[in-house]
Amino acid sequence: MKKAFITGITGQDGYYLSKLLLDNNYEVHGTIRRSSSINTSRIDPLISEYSDTKQFNLHYSDLLDSASLSLLLNDIQPDEVYNLAAQSHVAVSFKNPVISTQTSTLGVLSLLEPLRTFNKEVKFYQASSSEMYGGSEDKILNEDSLFDPKSPYAAGKVFSHNLSKIYRESYDMFCVNGILFNHESPHRGETFVTRKISRAVGRIKLGLQSKLTLGNLEAVRDWGYAGDYVEGMWKMMQYDKPDDWVLATGKAYKVSDFAKSAFDSVNLNWEDFVVSSKRYERPNEVHYLLGDSSKAKNLLNWKPKVDFDGLVKLMVEEDIELAKQEKTLLDNNLIKPTWENAI
C-alpha cells in the first residue's frame, strides 16, 4: 500500500485529494495545526469512514516547524508528499503579508530539506497557482509563460515554485509543480467569490438575505471543478518524470457571468440582487487569467469533466440545502444570522 503525506489536508483540495487517494488504496497522512478550535469539517466524513482502519491519519504539525515535519516524514516514510498548505486567500495576503509569505516560502523548505536528506526518491508535489502570472494581459497562459505576481500570496507561490524546480534540477529529486487555475466546489471557503455567490443565492432564494455585495465584477477567470483538478495532481505524480504542469479549462468567464449563471439556476435575475463595492477590490487587481492545459491533456490524458454551468449548478444546489438548514434553525430561534445583508 502506497503512503501519501498531505499538508493542507483540511482544505478544499486536501479533502478531494484524500478521497481520491483513499479510493486508490493509499494510506493517507495529513498535518493539522494544534489550536483551541480545530476545523476538520470538510474531512470529518473521511475521519468517520476510516477511523477503524488506520488508513487515514492526522498529525499535529505546522509548515513553519521544520523539526516536527522532519520527524514526521522520517517516521511515516511516505511515497508521495503533496504540499497544499497555504494562506490561500489573495486579498488576505495584503493584510497579513508576513504570515502569508512565510507559509509559502519557509514551508516548502521545511519539506524539501528533510526529503533531500533522508530519501530523495520520495515524490513531491508543490501547489503552484495561476495567480503567479499576474493577469495583466488578455492572453492564454501555459507552462512557458512568464510570472508577474501581483500580491504577497502570488510572490510566495513564485518562490516555492522556483525552489521546487531548483531541488529537482540540483538534487535529481522528483519535484512536480502543478500550476492550477481557479478550481471550485461546494467545499470552497465561503470568503472566495464563487462560494460567496452560491451561498448568497441559496439564502436569497429562501428569503434569508436581501442582496449580495461583490468587488470587481469584470475580473476574468478560468474556473474548473476541484475534484477534476486533484485527479490531475495525482496524474502528475504518476508520470514517468517530474515536470511543471498547467491545469485549466481553457474557457474564460467574468465574475458577473458566474453570478448570472448562479441566479439563473434558481430563476432569479442577478442584477436585482448584486451590487459592486470597491471595499472588496484588491489593492492590485488581477484582471485576466486563462489557461492552456494542452500539455496535461496530451501527456497525462487529463481534461476537465465538469463544465462551467455544471460547476455553478453543483455549488448552488449544495448551498440551497445549507440555506434550508439555516432557515429551520432561524425559524426555531436557535441561531442568529451572521452573514452580510441578512433579512
Cell numbers 509569505 label which residue? 101
Residue 34, pLDDT > 90, answer no
Which one of 131, 184, 231, 326 is the catalytic residue?
A: 131
The answer as to whether 79 is a domain residue is: yes
Three-state SS for 31? strand
- The answer to whether 214 touches 281, Cβ cutoff 8 Å, is no
Note the pTM of the prediction, 2 decimals: 0.95
Judge contact between 160 and 128, C-beta under 8 A.
Answer: yes
Cα distance between residue 273 and residue 276, in whole Å: 10
Please identify which residue in the block is written with the cell numbers 502506497: 2
Identity of the amino acid at 343 = I
| CATH number of the CATH domain containing 126 | 3.40.50.720
Domain tally for the chain? 1
Distance CA 70, CA 65 (A): 9
Phi and psi for 134 in degrees, rounded to 5?
90, -35
Task: Report which of 161, 165, 132 is spatially closest to residue 146, judged by C-alpha positions.
Answer: 132
Which of 26, 82, 153, 225 is the catalytic position? 153
Residue 53 lies in a domain: yes
Please tell me which residue in 100, 129, 185, 256 is annotated as part of the active site: 129
131 is catalytic: yes
Query: Is 194 domain-assigned?
Result: no
In a domain, 201, yes or no: no
Could you tell me the residue range of the domain that residue 8 belongs to? Answer: 3-184+223-247
Q: Is 198 a catalytic residue?
A: no
Per the domain annotation, does 104 fall within a domain? yes
Which residue from 125, 155, 144, 139 is spatially nearest to 21, judged by alpha carbons? Answer: 125
Q: Which backbone phi and psi does 42 adopt, to 5 degrees?
A: -65, -40
Q: Within a domain: residue 56?
A: yes
Confidence of residue 103 (pLDDT cuts 50, 70, 90): confident
What's the pLDDT tens digit per position in 122-136?
Answer: 999 999 999 999 987
The answer as to whether 311 is a domain residue is no
What digits encode the pLDDT tens for the residues 39-65? 899 999 999 999 788 899 999 998 888
Question: What is the spatial distance between Cα 13 and Cα 255, in angstroms, rounded to a whole number?
Answer: 22
Note if 153 is an active site residue.
yes
258 domain-assigned: no
The C-alpha atoms of residue 262 and residue 235 are separated, in whole angstroms, by 31
Grid coordinates of 305: 469533466
N residues, the chain: 343
Strand blocks (E) in the chain: 3-7, 27-32, 56-60, 80-83, 123-129, 140-141, 175-180, 183-184, 212-214, 220-221, 224-225, 244-247, 253-254, 274-276, 290-291
pLDDT cut 90: percent of the chain above it: 82
C-alpha cell at 256: 458577473
